[in-house]
Structures are given as structure tokens and as C-alpha cells.
Amino acid sequence: MRSRHNLFSPKIDNWLIGFKDGADFIVLFFKETFSRDFEFKEFVNQCYRIGNSSLVLISLTGFVTGFVFTKQSRPSLETFGATSWLPSLVTIAIIRALAPLVTSLICAGKVGSSIGAELGSMKVTEQIDAMEVSAVNPVRFLVVTRVLASTITIPILTFYCGFMAMTGVFLNVSLGEDTSFSAFLEQAFNNIIFLDLWTAIIKAVSYGFTIGIVGCYKGYNASNGTLGVGKAANASVVMSMFLIFIEEVFIVQVTNWFR
Amino acid sequence: MANPESSQRISAKVGLFVVIGIAILAASILTLGTMRKSFITRIDANATFANVNGLTKGNNVWFSGVKVGTVREITFTSDSKVRVVFSIEAESQKFIKKDALVRVSSDGLIGNPIILISGGSPSVPMIENGHEFRIEKEESTQEMMKTLQANNKNILSITEDLKSLVTGIRAGQGSIGKLMKDEAMYANLTKSLATVEAATRDLKQGASGLATLTNKLNAEGNLVNAIATDKEIYPSIKTTISTLQTTSDNLKQASLAAKQMVDNLEQTSKTINKMTTNTTSPIGVLLHDEKTAKDIKETISNLENSSEKLNQNMEALKHNIFFRRYFKKQAKELEVKKE
């Protein structure tokens, strides 16, 4: 039987309240972002931490993605005798989809969990409360800087990942077809248009914002001591990845209107 | 007194509102792409094919390489043919004429099947809703293979001919064979080629000289260039020629007048000549009669003497008491006039 205090049931209500709290948190973030005082130093520090911590992982992942994707695509194209299309085919896939997606998934694991755990531990050890008491706005100092840093750094990492993936593609193509570097560049970027780059940027910005805001939200609302910290870190990764895939569907749909 | 709603209930309501909002946004994003096409006015057209090669609902309809519609319905007819109903955008309707033909094609080498509309005369009216297109004769794969087989046979026959031709050439038969085998002919050909080469070189030099001359003539400041390009010089030349024509006419008139004058002078000269040769005329007498000449000479001598004496008389008259005053007065008047 439905309780008087609940709209549907406690479980469904809690799920709906989660949406409301998430929306509130996003509104709070924008409100604090456009306020006068901006923690620029902390923002730069977070940009460095996010970029630096993910650089090696993204380099390796990007390179392997490009190399393996090319290797896997070759047999299909060989059936039609169209291996010369390999650079352009793989480049389109990397620029339009793989680079933003791979980068954001790596960052969701690396950066999202880090933000969730960091803010979660600060929350459960009442450091955030202490900041409030000492007249430091915790949202402005902790949330705004981290969300903006991930929103800006992840697009940069995306292009770096794309570059590394293209290196992997070139290595595989030059090993397989003995293609020169200039011929590879000509074939690879012949079919890339400005809209493809814009799509990649839009995706990377959206995914960066998602990773930052989800990590901060989960960490900022952590509870139940050290167990809560782990749950916050885990939830931020799972939720970020889930939202990234959902966003992918909608961004592809929207950008395809302009094609 | 009504119970105030619990804050958890309000939060759940707000959450529900957020979920519904997100759902509406997501649904509109996903459907807007296809809905955009729903707002376009379309007309229906039909065509009946013997074979549609895997054409399905939603496949594209192209006209002159532009997508103008989609396949809406595919059904079998009573005579086991396939009837395809497809919609065409009303914007493209005016370009598609009633005598246009359709066929099932593909949008690439291994692409999706499409309906291809082609042809149509400009004088024929545009299609209307429910128009039944005529089918363009399709080349099936088997027919293509048959054509290819015929081509192969032709190529085989050509290569056999080529083979026998090359064998003959190698054996030194025919003109080309002789050319390849005969040393004398080769030498003659080499000489001819050398001559042709020399002639070509000369021709090239001539062409180069002509080009240089043309460049010089075309160079700015050159007379020919100035005449050819200057818009002011032509009217000026025209005016000058016109003036020269007028001057020439005047000169012609002047020469006629001069000729007439010369004629008159000749006539006068003849008359004078006649008069001078006639001893009876006054001039003839003056010129030829010695006595008359002597008389005239004496008369002139007498006149000189008389004149000298008259001068003396006049000088004496100046000193005469009666006339002295008159001459003084006259001298004074002369001085006043000079001043």
C-alpha cells in the first residue's frame, strides 16, 4: 500500500528525487560558475591533474585503438579489393566517434572515479562542512573548478587521442600497403569535413561536462563513511559511462541533421 | 486543516517533472529528424516492375542524381509483377515530366537499391498525383554477361589478327615489314626525318622571329600599336585626310586658274609680239623707226634743258621781292608740319 508521504513508492520516489537533486546540482553549478569570484588557480591545477593523469593511458589506448581497428577492418575491405579506402574509412570512424568515446570512457574511469572519491572522502570527513564554516564556498572551489577543468581538458585529450590513433592507423597501413606518409594523409583526410571536427568537439565537451558533474555530484552527496566514498567513486564511473552512451545517441542524431 | 505535503513528496514530484522533461526532449530529438520530412508535401506515383532486386519500403527515389522521394509500398499484382508505390516531393514534381522512365538501380557499386527516374521532354506536362511511370528496359546481369562474352570473342579474333600481322611484319612482309627489315629504306627515312627536323627548326626560328616582330609591333609606343589601339588617332587621321582632300581640290582650282592666267599671258604676249613686229603700229614705230627715236631723244634733251632753266627761274623767283614772302611762309608751314 502506498504511504501518505510517498508519491508512488519509496524506491520510485527516491529514484525521482535523485533526478531532482541532480537537476538542482546542475543549476547550482551554473549559478556558481557565473558568479563573480572564480577560483582560477584551482581551476588550472585541476586542468593539469586531469590532463596529466590521463595522458599516458590515453596515448596507449588511442594508439592501440587505431592500430587494431585498422587491422580488423582490412579483411572486409580486401574482399572488395578496396584496401586503399582503409585510411579514409578508419579516419572517419576515429574523428567522428572513436576518439571522443574512447577518451571519455578512459577519463570516466580515471578522472570520474578520482573526483567522486576525492569529494566523497571530503564529504564524509566533514571537510566540506568545514569549508562552509570557514566562509569558503565549497561548490565554487571544489565543483565549479573540477567540472570546468574536465569540460575543457577532455576535448584536448580527445584530439590527442585522435592523433595517437592516427599514428597507429599509419603504422598498420604502412606495414600492410607500404603507403607513403603524404599519400596516407591525402587519403585519410580527403573525406573529413569541418562538421566532423565540430561533432568531435561537441561530443568531447558534453562528455567532459558529464564526467565532471557526475563525479562531483556523487562525491558531494556521499554518505555512510568510507563505504560511501567507494560507492560514490563507483557510482560516478558507472553513471558517467551510462550517460556518455546516451548522449552519443542524441548527439549523433542532432549532428546528422546538418549532414 | 489540510495536511501540508511532505518535502519528500514534493521532491519526488519535481523529479518526475524532470524525468518527463528529459523524456520529451529525448523523444523530440529522436523523432525530429524523420518529422522534418513529414511536413513536406508529397505526391504518389506508381510503377510496375518484373523484378525489383530487393527494393524495400523506405528506399530512396532519385531523379537526375537527386533524392526526390521514398518507396512507400510494394505489392504483387495479379500477373505476378511487382507494383511499387513511391512518394515524390511536391517541390520536385514540376521537373519530372510524364514521359520520364523509371528503373530499379543502386546508389553505388554495392549500395542500396533505389528507384531511378530519368529522361522526360521539356514540352511534356509534369506528372500528377497517381501517375503511372513507364519502365525503362533494364539490362540484367545475364544480358551484361552475354554482351561481355561477345566482347571477349571479338577481342580474341582481334588478337589473332594482330598475331598474324606481327608475324608478317617480323618476316619482312608488307610496307611496315620492309620498313623494319630494309636497311636502304631505313637510311632514306632517317635522311627524310633529318630534313624534316631541319625544316621544323627553320620554321621554329621563323615563327620565333615572327613572334618577336609581332611583340615589337604590339609594344606600347610603337606606331602600329598606336594606330591599332589609340582611339583618338583614327578620327585625327580621318580629319587630316579630309583636309588634304579639300587642299587638293583648292590646288586643283588654283592650278586651273594659273593655267588660264598663263593662257591669257601667252595671248597677251602674242598680241604684244605682233604689235612690236608691226612697223606701222605706234609701238612698232617707236621700236623700229630710227628717225622717230632720234626725235624723241632730242625732245628729251630739250626737256632736260628746259627743266634746268625752269629751276634757275624758280630760284630767281624765290629771291624776288614780290614772291619772297610767299616762299618764306611756305617754308614755315613745312617746318610746322614736320614738328
Q: Is residue B141 over pLDDT 70?
A: no
pLDDT of residue B293: 82
Residue B236 CB burial class (10 angstroms; 0-12, 13-18, ≥19): exposed
A76: contact with B, CB 8 A cutoff? no
The model's confidence at residue B227, banded by pLDDT at 50, 70 and 90, is confident
The domain containing residue B208 runs over which residues? 160-221
- Are B103 and B133 in the same domain? yes
| Helix axis angle, A86-93 to A181-189, nearest 10° | 60
pLDDT of residue B215: 86
Q: Name residue A190's amino acid.
A: N
The enclosing H or E element of A37 equals: none
Distance of CA A84 to the CA centre of its chain: 32
Whether residue B102 lies inside any domain: the answer is yes
- Shortest alpha-carbon distance between residue A52 and chain B (Å): 35
- Closest by Cβ to B8, choosing from A13, A254, A256: A13
**Nearest residue of chain A to residue B31 (CA atoms):** A253
Edge-first strand listing for the sheet containing B134-135: B131-132, B42-49, B82-89, B66-76, B60-63, B113-118, B101-106, B134-135
Whether residue B49 lies inside any domain: the answer is yes
Report helix, strand and coil shares of chain B as percent, to nearest 5.
65, 15, 25
The phi-psi region of residue A225 (left if phi > 0; otherwise alpha if psi is between -120 and 50; otherwise beta) is: left
- Are B96 and B178 in the same domain? no
CA distances to A170, B4, B10, B104, B257 from B1, rounded to whole Å, are 76, 9, 19, 75, 143
Identify the residue with better confidence: B138 or A180.
Answer: A180
CB contact under 8 A, B19 and A8: no
pLDDT of residue B137: 74
b/e map B196-220, b = 16+ CB within 10 Å: eeeeeeeeeeeeeeeeeeeeeeeee
CB contact under 8 A, B9 and A6: yes
Whether residue B153 lies inside any domain: the answer is no
pLDDT of residue A1: 46
Q: Total structural domains in chain B?
A: 3
pLDDT of residue B1: 43
- Are B74 and B109 in the same domain? yes
Q: Is residue A219 over pLDDT 90?
A: yes
- Are B70 and B116 in the same domain? yes
| Tens digits of residue pLDDT in B168-224 | 888 877 777 777 777 787 788 888 899 999 999 999 999 988 988 888 888 877 777
b/e map B112-151, b = 16+ CB within 10 Å: ebbbbbeebeeeeeebeeebebeebeeeeeeeeeeeeeee
ipTM confidence: 0.77
Is the dihedral angle over the CA atoms B42, B44, B49, B54 positive or is it negative? positive
| Tens digits of residue pLDDT in A9-32 | 888 988 899 999 999 999 999 999
| Tens digits of residue pLDDT in B28-41 | 887 776 666 666 78
- Are B26 and B82 in the same domain? no
A16: contact with B, CB 8 A cutoff? yes
Min mean pLDDT across B83-92, B140-149, B302-311 is at B140-149
A254: contact with B, CB 8 A cutoff? yes
Write phi, then psi, for A188 (nearest 5 degrees). -65, -45
- Are B57 and B33 in the same domain? no
Q: Select from B196, B221, B246 the last residue of a domain.
A: B221
Detail the DSSP E strand segments found in A99-150. Answer: none
Whether residue B248 lies inside any domain: the answer is no
Q: Spell out the residues 6+ positions from residue B88 whose beta carbon is closer than 8 angstroms to its own.
A: B42, B43, B44, B45, B61, B63, B68, B69, B96, B127
